[in-house]
A and B are shown apart, each in its own frame.
Chain A
C-alpha cells in the first residue's frame, strides 16, 4: 500500500521560519537566521518525543590521514561544553539520562546523528543541549587521549567479527578513489594519530546550522517546538565559509576484483558486491525490490537455491542506499562442509538468471508487500521513525521517507530485469571470501 499523503504547500506561519514543504505527515521549515532545516512529525500516540540532529557529514568527508574523524568527533561531542560537562555534573548523559532519555549518536558514510528519545515534557532540554554543542564543544586534548583508547577498543571489538572484516575488505577493494573505501571507524593508524587540532578543524568545517537538519517526532506541540528551536539555535551564525563538497568520483571499474580475508573461525562467508547507483536514483528502488525477492523469506530465490538446499545457513541480499553510488551485494554463510566455490557459483548463476530471464509479477508483488510491511513495522514509535528519516536525510532528500512506498509500488518486473542487466555485471563486481583458519 502506498503512502496516500499528497505533498502539501500549506504550512504554519511561524515567526523566524520559512515553511518549505510537507509530505508524509512531516512539515519542513528553514530557520531564517542561519539556514537550519527543521522537520516536524507530530503524532500523539504515546507521551514521548524523539529529538534528533543530523549533520551532513560522515566518513565520506574524510581525507586520508583523517579517517575516523567523524566517528571520533562524535565521541568527543559527549565530552562536554562550557555549559554541559561532567565536572559540573551536567554532561549530556547526566542531564538527559536523568530524565529517562535514551540518548546516543551514530556515524556512517554520509551523516552523523545525535538523538534523544525522552518523555515529552523534557523536549526543551534536548533542544538546548544540541544547540549548545553545535558550536560549544570543548574538544580538549586530554579528552581526545582518553577517548582514543576507547575507540581503539571499539575497533578491536569490531575486528573480532569475521563478517565485519569481510564487509570492510570488500568495500575497500571495490572503491579505489572514493572515500566509501574506508570504514567509518577509520584506519587504525589514523585513529592512533588523530589530534585535537585536527578534530577541531573538522568540527569547525562541518558543524554549522546550514549543514544540519533537526527532526522532532512524537508527542509535541509544533509551534512550541519551533519556538524552542528558534530560541536555542537562532543565535548561531551560518558557517563562515562554504561547506566543502566531496568531488571525488569513483573511476569506472572495468574488471572483477577479488579479496580474501583469513581469520580463525568456523564457517566461511562469500560476499559478491556490484557497483550500484546513488540512493536517490530511481534505479535504487528496483534494486531494493530485487534484493527483497532474492533473499527475503523462504520463497525467495536465493533461500530456495542455497539455504533450503543445504549449501548455506544464511543468505542476504542488500542494496545499500547512500548519497553517492554504493554497492548492491549478496552475502552467504556456508553450511558446514560446503565450499566457497560452489556457493559463489550458485550465487552468480542465480543473479545471471534474473538478468537473463527476468522475474515474475508474483515475485515483485510479494517483494512489494514485504517492503510495505517492513516499512510499516519500521515506523513503530518515534525513535524508529527518526532512524528511518535519518537515512533519507543522509541521502540528500528527507522526502524519500515519505515517497518510498510509492516509489517501490511503481517498480515493474521489467525494471527489476533491467537493473539486474545494468548493474549485476562481471566488470563491476567485487568478490570477497572469508576463509576460516583453524587457530
Chain B
C-alpha cells in the first residue's frame, strides 16, 4: 500500500518556522521552497519597494559581501533565489544534500541581514529599471497589465501598474525607503520552509531552528482589496511598435475564492474549454481553423484571500485578428450556452488527476505543490485529497458554475502589438 503524502511529509515547528520535509529517494539533490508574509500596501504601490528590497537580498549580507556570498553557493553548485510575490516573499533553492548545513544558515542570513550597500542599491535599481524597460516592448506583458487595470482596483493584489509609472517611481526610490521596508515587513510571519529530496527531517530541523530561532515577527497588517472592480467591458488596443504578432487577452472578473465549493467545478469547466491541446479552443481555433499557434483559457489570480478572473489568451497574426477574435468568442458562447458533456468531463477529470501525478514526478514539482497548499492553509494532505475532489465533480456542478460565473458579454478584450489601425 502506497503511503499518503499526509503520512510521508513531516511537519515540524522549528522555532518560528514551519518546516515540512518530504524525503524522496533521489541521488544527492535537495529542493527547497519557502515563503514568508510581508503585507505590502498594494494601494500605494509598495510592491515596487518590495521588489527592490528582494533585489538586495543576494547583494551581500552584514557578514559577507556579494562575492563572498556568491562564492559560498557557487563553490557548492548551490542556488538560492528570492522572489517578490504579492503579499509574500518566496524563496527557492537547490543544493546537494551534503551542503545543507552551509546553505540553510545562509538562507536565513540573506533574508534577515541584507547588507544594503549604497553602490549595490544603485545596481539593483538599474536592474529593475532594465526589467521594466523590457516590459515596455513585450506584448504579452503589456496585455496582461492592461487587462489587470480593467478588472481590479489598485489596492487589489492582481492589479499591475504601467511600466512607465513604475519607472518614474523607481527613479525616486531611496535606499532608506528600502531599508525601512525591510525593517517593517520582513520577519518570521507565516514563515514556511519545504524541503524535498535526499533529506531527513532530523538532519534539517536543528539547522532550521538555529537559523531562524530568534527572528521576530513584524507588525505589518494586511492592506489589500479582496474584490475586483471591473470597468465596463470594451476592446483596448495597446500599441507596441514593430511587433507583428498580437497578444490578445480576453477576460472578466470572477467573484470566487479558492476554497469555495464552486471553484473546482469552474476550474474543471474552464479546463474543458481551454486547458490543453485537446480542449475545445485548441481543437477548433488552432487545430481546425489554423488561426493561432496557441489559445488557452484559465482562471487567474484566484486565491484563498481574494478573487480573480477568467481569461482567454490567444496569439494572432495581423491578418487573422478579427477572424481569430470571432472564432474564439463563438466557442466561448457555445460553451456557456451548451455546457459540457459527460464524456468531456470524464476525459478531463482523468487528464487533471493524471497531470497532477506526473507533475509530482520531480522534487521541484513536489516542493512547489506542497508550498502552495500549505500557504493556502490546505496542508500537505491536500495532495492526497485533490484527485478525489476532482473525481467527485459532477456535470451539473460544472454547468451550474459556468452559468453562474462566466459571461461572454462582460469580456474585456486587450490587443497588444503593432495593431495596424493604431499607427495613426
CB–CB A437/B316 < 8 A: no
A149 at the B interface (CB under 8 A): yes
Contacts of A264 in B (CB 8 A): 137, 240-243
State which of A94, A101, A148, A336 has its C-beta within 8 Å of the C-beta of B133. A336
Q: Kindly state the separation between the CA atoms of A147 and B315 in the bound complex, as whole angstroms.
A: 15
A421 at the B interface (CB under 8 A): no
- Closest beta carbon of chain A to B138's beta carbon, Å: 8
A-B contacts, CB under 8 A, total: 189
Task: Tell me how many residues of A have a C-beta within 8 Å of chain B.
Answer: 70
Contacts of B94 in A (CB 8 A): 373, 377
Of B72-80, B229-237, B301-309, the one with at least 4 CB within 8 A of chain A: B72-80
- Given A99-B354, A369-B77: A267 in contact with B123 (beta carbons within 8 A): no
- Given A86-B283, A93-B276, A264-B241: A152 in contact with B317 (beta carbons within 8 A): yes
Contacts of A154 in B (CB 8 A): 293
Q: Kindly state the separation between the CA atoms of A218 and B360 in the bound complex, as whole angstroms.
A: 13
B290 at the A interface (CB under 8 A): yes
- Closest beta carbon of chain B to A10's beta carbon, Å: 22
- Nearest opposing residue in chain A for B423, CB measure: A439
A150 at the B interface (CB under 8 A): yes
Contacts of B24 in A (CB 8 A): 45-46
B195 at the A interface (CB under 8 A): no
- Nearest opposing residue in chain A for B242, CB measure: A264
State which of B26, B70, B353, B355 has its C-beta within 8 Å of the C-beta of A102. B355
Q: Kindly state the separation between the CA atoms of A86 and B288 in the bound complex, as whole angstroms.
A: 10
Contacts of B76 in A (CB 8 A): 369, 373
State which of A98, A218, A335, A384 has its C-beta within 8 Å of the C-beta of B347. A98
Of A31-39, A296-304, A341-349, the one with at least 4 CB within 8 A of chain B: A296-304
B169 at the A interface (CB under 8 A): no
CB–CB B67/A298 < 8 A: yes
CB–CB A100/B360 < 8 A: no
CB–CB B71/A299 < 8 A: yes
A339 at the B interface (CB under 8 A): no
Contacts of B133 in A (CB 8 A): 266-267, 336
Contacts of A272 in B (CB 8 A): none
- Closest beta carbon of chain B to A113's beta carbon, Å: 17
CB–CB B350/A335 < 8 A: no
Q: Which of B189-221 contact A (CB under 8 A)?
A: none
Question: Could you say which of B31, B69, B73, B357 has the most chain A C-beta atoms within 10 Å of its C-beta?
Answer: B357
CB–CB B130/A335 < 8 A: yes
Interface size range of chain B in the complex: 35 or more
- Given A146-B288, A335-B130, A336-B126: A376 in contact with B354 (beta carbons within 8 A): no
CB–CB A310/B126 < 8 A: yes
Encoded as 1 (CB less than 8 Å from any B CB) or 0, chain A from 344 to 380 comes to 0000000000000000000000100111111011011
CB–CB A380/B315 < 8 A: no
B244 at the A interface (CB under 8 A): yes
Question: Could you say which of B70, B241, B358, B364 has the most chain A C-beta atoms within 10 Å of its C-beta?
Answer: B358
Q: Kindly state the separation between the CA atoms of A154 and B318 in the bound complex, as whole angstroms.
A: 12
Contacts of B28 in A (CB 8 A): 376
State which of B31, B129, B130, B287 has its C-beta within 8 Å of the C-beta of A146. B287
- Closest beta carbon of chain A to B78's beta carbon, Å: 7
A282 at the B interface (CB under 8 A): no
Q: Kindly state the separation between the CA atoms of A376 and B98 in the bound complex, as whole angstroms.
A: 13
A191 at the B interface (CB under 8 A): no
- Given A93-B276, A97-B276: A117 in contact with B74 (beta carbons within 8 A): no
A223 at the B interface (CB under 8 A): no
- Nearest opposing residue in chain A for B31, CB measure: A380
Could you jot down 20 A-B contacts, CB within 8 Å?
A46-B360, A48-B358, A97-B278, A98-B278, A101-B354, A146-B290, A148-B290, A153-B291, A156-B318, A160-B245, A264-B137, A264-B242, A304-B67, A335-B126, A369-B75, A371-B77, A373-B78, A380-B363, A436-B137, A439-B418
Which A residues fall within an 8 A CB radius of B? 45-48, 86, 91, 93-94, 97-103, 117-119, 122, 145-154, 156-157, 159-160, 162, 218, 263-267, 296-299, 304, 308, 310, 313, 333, 335-336, 366, 369-374, 376-377, 379-384, 436-439
Which B residues fall within an 8 A CB radius of A? 2, 24-29, 31, 58, 66-67, 69-71, 73-78, 94-96, 122-123, 126-127, 129-131, 133-134, 136-137, 139, 240-245, 276-278, 283, 286-293, 315-318, 320, 347, 350-358, 360-365, 417-418
* Besides the known contacts A298-B70, A371-B77, 10 further A-B residue pairs in the complex with CB atoms under 8 A apart: A48-B357, A93-B276, A100-B357, A122-B354, A153-B315, A156-B317, A263-B242, A310-B122, A370-B74, A377-B29
Q: Which 5 A-B pairs give the minimum distances between C-beta atoms?
A: A100-B354, A439-B241, A373-B77, A264-B242, A381-B362
